[in-house]
Amino acid sequence: AACRNDMGVEARALPLCGGVGGRPGGMDAATYLAEHSSELKTAAEQQIAESNAKISASRGLFKDAMGNLEVNIQTCEVYLRKRMLMPTPRDICSQEDFSAVFGGKEPFCAVTQSNEFRTFVTIIDSDHTYEVHAWTPLKSQDKPNMKVVG
């Protein structure tokens, strides 16, 4: 095989060290391996890393050139900037301002931040990207006590 992974370690080292101990100018494989073990280990680790990179890229995960959009074919998931796309939450779509901008459409979004009282989502619609900040309204018991003077 061209990659020589079907041979033992000593046999793979023979072409590099110039033959076996009985030949002029050559050293035996054990001596070669002892002297060059760190170089061989580094080369093997690099080959493994390159192989793993090729395998992970070919197992159904596809990215656009910029790396912003990813599609996982096996799970049918779409990610925008490492965040899963999902339908825009109903409480955001039902707002009048949202309807005025999107005209009744309910585009997909990626949640970029989510806290107890706020949610930030990114929406891509046609050629535009929107950052929508949705805040939970205060309940009557949460409102500060204010008196009108006058």
Q: How confident is the model at residue 3 (pLDDT cuts 50, 70, 90)?
A: low
Query: What does the pLDDT average to over 132-140?
Result: 84
Instruction: Outline where DSSP puts E strands in 18-127.
Output: 61-63, 69-72, 77-80, 83-87, 108-114, 118-125
Q: Which of 117, 122, 119 is nearest to 79 (CA)?
A: 122
% of the chain residues with pLDDT over 90: 15
Tokens of 95: 């707002």
Distance (Å, whole) CA 109 – CA 36 = 54
Query: What does the pLDDT average to over 121-143?
Result: 83
Distance (Å, whole) CA 77 – CA 50 = 26
Question: How much is the pLDDT for 1?
Answer: 45
The residue ranking higher by pLDDT, 134 or 10, is: 134
Give the chain's largest Cα–Cα span: 110
CA 94 vs. chain centroid, Å, equals 32
